Each structure stands twice: as C-alpha cells, then as structure tokens.
Amino acid sequence: MAEKTLKNEEELRSRLTPEQYHVTQESGTERAFTGKYWKTKDPGTYLCVCCSQPLFNSETKFDSGTGWPSFWRPAEQGQVAEHTDVSYGVSRTEVRCSSCGAHLGHVFEDGPAPTGLRYCINSAALDLKPRDKK
C-alpha cells in the first residue's frame, strides 16, 4: 500500500482545473465521450492528477464503448483503493487513488479477459505520462 499523500484544498484548487477538482475531490463525473483520454491510444502510464502516483498502463486500456477511459487492471496491486458507493440508490464499487484518496471512477465486473474487470475512470482524474520513444 502506498504512503498517504494529503494535499490541502487551497493548493489543489490552484493547481487543478475546476472539473479536475470536482471529479477528484467531490466525487464528480465528467460527461461521457468528453474527457481528454477516452479514446487515446498513446503508450504510457496514467498517473493520478493530484499526486502523480502511477495508476494504469496503456497496455491494459481498452475501448469499452462507454465514453470513459477503461482499463482491465491497475498498474500495480495496491495503487487504487476500492470502496462501496451507494449514491444514487445503486451499490457500485468506487475506485480512489490509494495515495491521496482522489476519486477516480468505478470498477465493474463486465470487462475483458484476463480479469473480467472494467475500471471506468474519469479522464479528469488522470495525467498521461507518455512512454519514451526508443
């Protein structure tokens, strides 16, 4: 498990866009098919926009047809934390950055092999670090 990184509200508001702040700090959701990374195919590592912890690798990204970036597993075990979310009268599994607690999205059990999972993540919670070209 990663060491907790806590950021104060003022610092986050000054560094993040209003949408990034709303998604990561207020458990918001960006509209489908509008996020920066929903159709990106560039190779690299997706980092937490708040603390830069590596969260997902481009190798596990797939087109789920939902309009949000989707991955079939996190970059490493323990990089994301899962919590039960009962908002809107539905029980879902919320996904947060294990380092700073930023809301990322939700995970569902309708993804591809080998995990059968679909981590449905808001682009606003991510920052893509491109892989160095060789």
Query: Hey, which residues are catalytic here?
Result: 120
Contact predicate 112/99, CB 8 Å: no
Contact predicate 96/87, CB 8 Å: no
For residue 100 the two structure tokens come to 């700073």
On the 0-12 / 13-18 / 19+ scale of CB atoms within 10 A, 24 is buried
Q: Provide the residue type at 80 as one letter.
A: V
Q: What is the spatial distance between Cα 7 and Cα 130, in angstroms, rounded to a whole number?
A: 25
